Amino acid sequence: MRPASVGFQCPECVSEGARSTRSGRTAYGGRRSGNPALTSQVLIAINVAVWALILITGGTRSPWSYTLGLHTGTFRAPVQGGVQVFQGLLDGAYWQPLTAMFTHVEVWHIGFNMLALWFLGPQLEAAVGRARFLALYLLSGLVGSLFVYWFAPAYSLTIGASGAIFGLMGGLLVIALKVKADVRQLLMWIGLNFLITVVGRGFISWQGHLGGFIGGVLVGAIIAYAPRRNRAAWQAAGFGVLGVLLVAAYVVRTAMLP
């Protein structure tokens, strides 16, 4: 018999209690979040802060939209106070693939993206843990920026968190398939968003959306299908390999451009 909080328990009862106690980790190895919405709230706060900065410094004519947004090379643009020269990724603005993910100008743009993040983010963080959710969000956005760098017209300005949001859709789809959930409604929602992208491709970055979705599927697969034995090490290695491939693809594209 084993001493317990009330009397004594047999060893079999202790073992059964240990098995039935809720684990402190998710099914994919991440630590369970005490507040699964926290990371999404922080990401939303950063996006809103950048949007407010752009709004008070000129909106569509704010220099910050060109400094933080993603474009290929150096060019001149009309901003509040005159015309200004801005560097692009090709000329050393290496922060742009990341900062473009947090940059919005139009209220409908940030509103749609943050609403999607508000609904998708907590679900995914609860399923995979905070660190893996953040990796999914950021890596998906960077893959979306990579597709923009490769396939968007040169010197076009691309901004918005849409690539990362499509990455969350891709990651959620992979996890839902892994647990054999009914994905019909999710597929309908993803299909509707891609339909909107195709219809509005004149002013919507299909490159960022497609790249972000593919990035989300890749990161979701790394999280969901990593071997159970040494799962964290496998996942970290997968993220590392994807990061190296991303850097290599950016370098190759830069070498190809005049």
Which range of residues forms the domain containing residue 243?
Answer: 33-256
Within-domain flag for 27: no
Annotation says 209 is catalytic: yes
* Overall domain count for the chain: 1
Q: How many CA atoms lie within 13 A of 159 on its CB side?
A: 20
Within-domain flag for 199: yes
- Whether the CB-CB separation of 222 and 239 falls below 8 Å is answered with yes
> What's this model's pTM, rounded to 2 decimal places?
0.88
The one catalytic residue among 71, 104, 205, 209: 209
User: Would you tell me how many other CB atoms lie within 10 Å of the CB of residue 240?
Assistant: 10
Distance set, CA 160 to CA 83, 132, 148, 154, 205 (Å): 23, 22, 12, 18, 9
How far apart, in whole angstroms, are the C-alpha atoms of residue 135 and residue 114? 18
CATH number of domain containing 80: 1.20.1540.10
Q: Quote the pLDDT of residue 10.
A: 60
Query: 184-199 and 162-178 are packed helices; what angle lies between their axes, rounded to 10 degrees?
Result: 160
pLDDT-flagged residues of the chain (< 70)? 1-23
Is the four-CA dihedral 238, 239, 245, 248 of positive or negative sign?
A: negative
Within-domain flag for 22: no
Annotation says 162 is catalytic: yes
Task: Name the residue with tokens 């691309």.
Answer: 158
Within-domain flag for 23: no
Within-domain flag for 198: yes
Q: Quote the pLDDT of residue 20.
A: 41
Within-domain flag for 4: no
Within-domain flag for 8: no
User: Would you tell me how many other CB atoms lie within 10 Å of the CB of residue 7?
Assistant: 7
Within-domain flag for 6: no
Distance set, CA 236 to CA 25, 147, 243 (Å): 16, 23, 10
Q: Look up residue 213 and give its two tokens.
A: 């979705």
The one catalytic residue among 33, 140, 145, 162: 162
Based on the number of CB atoms within 10 Å of its own CB, is 206 exposed (0-12), middle (13-18) or buried (19 or more)? middle
